[in-house]
Homo-oligomer: A and B are copies of this chain.
Amino acid sequence: MKTTDLDTSPAAGNGLLDRRFFLKAGAAGGASLLSAAAHGMQREPWMQVPGAGMSELGAPAAAETDLVRTDVSSRPGTTGSGVSRTPLQHLDGIVTPSRLHFERHHSGIPDIDPGRHRLVLHGLVERPLSFSLDALARYPVVSRIQFLECSGNSGALIAPQPVPGTASSLHGLVAASEWGGVPLGALLDEAGLKPGARWLIADGADAAVMSRSVPLDKILDDAIVALYQNGEPLRPSNGYPMRLFLPGWEGNMSVKWLRGLKVTAEPAMTKDETSKYSDLRDDGVAELFSFPMGVKSVITNPSPGLKLNARGIYQVSGIAWSGNGRIRRVEVSADGGRSWADALLDEHVLPKCLTRFRSAWKWDGGPAVLLSRATDEAGNQQPTRAQVLEGRAVNSFYHYNGMQAWQVDGNGELSNVYA
């Protein structure tokens, strides 16, 4: 096969090839050489009968049974205080289908009557305002593809010993969607800010009344009241009929089922930003208001549960993101971080969005430890696990953005390790 002529000189240790390898040619060994006799293609049974008809709604292929959110779990005695996770290792690209977008609820999904729901804007404003869904829909909408990540995502990596898990179970509280909504600055402009206005307290119409304090400068920068996700109205599990959306900031501040926006001089110090979603240091001080999600990446393919079946050339693919803007660079290692090769980034490298990266790797059948590390356009480089944990209290698990190492064993099976 012609691919044996390809330049497979290494870019880093243990088989990582130059990223330009993919620009020149396909992976070696995937295709089968056809015998002359096989040129006549078989007419398979599904070509011999008319197929299924058109329908109102498309559905995934029945064979794709992995396309479900994973690790659906809730606190004992509840069904609605928990999570479900995006199956990252079965996805590609950057858009997450809405039905697979992770969930994190604090008292389940409220059954809101969209005709009755109101968003109330009050506090330090000249003109307190109330918005129905119909009223909001007449305002100008902006639409951008951006990530949303729970601040507790990847928190299992603080465990002293690596816990078994998949890309989904360990890192599946992140997803990217096209979010469309009304810039909140336009609504504040209509209401008119009073002197001293510095914060906005957002609360949700769920039974837990999720409440978070947001600095007004973030609101005026890029906050929206989201009405649309991936082109269609929000789904109940993502805040229908409206949610706050704060690009790049920890997920629970993007308050779902948005009901109240109160302009204030000071933050409210709600339960959701003091006893929860704050970062305890090992000196006993709790850091509040850690808003942006740090630069991060994870290899999704291969990853635990996706076996390498034969030695040869593989595409190593994953996602990288940063609350600070665009991803500038992703590097991949196959030798546990001793050497690194630059990965290719897909065409769409959007600010505060998942960015897909890919590397060519020639697996020789032996043990390997795969790692990725991302750098964002602000120059922040994804830290090691040790760097993330430095200065943290035991069990302080929010905002974990350390590098993920996947051990590959001689059978081609992968597992979570600390490298």
Contacts and interface: CB of A to CB of B under 8 A. Distances in A.
Given A111-B46, A144-B347, A94 B231 contact: yes
A372 to B, nearest CB: 16
A284 interface: no
A317 interface: yes
Copies in the complex: 2
Contact of A46 (B27, B74, B113, B128): B113
Interface string A79-113: 11011100000111111111111010101111111
A378 B47 CA distance: 41
Contact of A68 (B57, B69, B113): B57
Given A39-B122, A232-B60, A51 B110 contact: yes
Contacts of A135: 30-32
A141 to B, nearest CB: 6
Nearest to A238: B58
A181 to B, nearest CB: 9
Nearest to A31: B129
Interface stretch (A156-164, A203-211, A285-293, A379-387): A203-211
| Interface bin, chain A | 35 or more
Given A84-B54, A108-B51, A26 B59 contact: no
A394 B63 CA distance: 45
A169 to B, nearest CB: 14
A129 B33 contact: yes
A260 B158 CA distance: 50
A99 B231 CA distance: 12
B190 A140 contact: no
A57 B102 CA distance: 9
B99 A58 contact: yes
A348 B51 contact: no
B236 A61 contact: yes
Contacts of A100: 57-58, 231-232
Contacts of A50: 78-80, 107-108, 207
A358 interface: yes
Contacts of A49: 207
A58 B87 CA distance: 13
**List of 7 A-B pairs having minimum Cβ-Cβ separation, nearest first:** A51-B108, A53-B79, A26-B186, A22-B140, A30-B135, A34-B128, A46-B110
10 contacts: A27-B139, A31-B190, A34-B129, A50-B108, A56-B84, A58-B99, A92-B232, A93-B180, A94-B231, A140-B358
Interface of A: 1-3, 22, 24-27, 29-34, 36, 38-39, 41, 44, 46-61, 63-64, 67-70, 72-74, 78-80, 82-84, 90-101, 103, 105, 107-114, 116-118, 120-122, 126-132, 134-136, 138-145, 178, 180, 182, 186-187, 189-192, 205-207, 209, 227-228, 230-238, 240-241, 259-260, 309, 312-315, 317, 344, 346-348, 350, 356, 358, 360
Given A46-B110, A50-B108, A58-B101, 13 more contacts: A1-B190, A32-B130, A33-B129, A36-B128, A50-B207, A53-B109, A54-B103, A56-B84, A58-B235, A97-B230, A139-B315, A142-B347, A144-B348
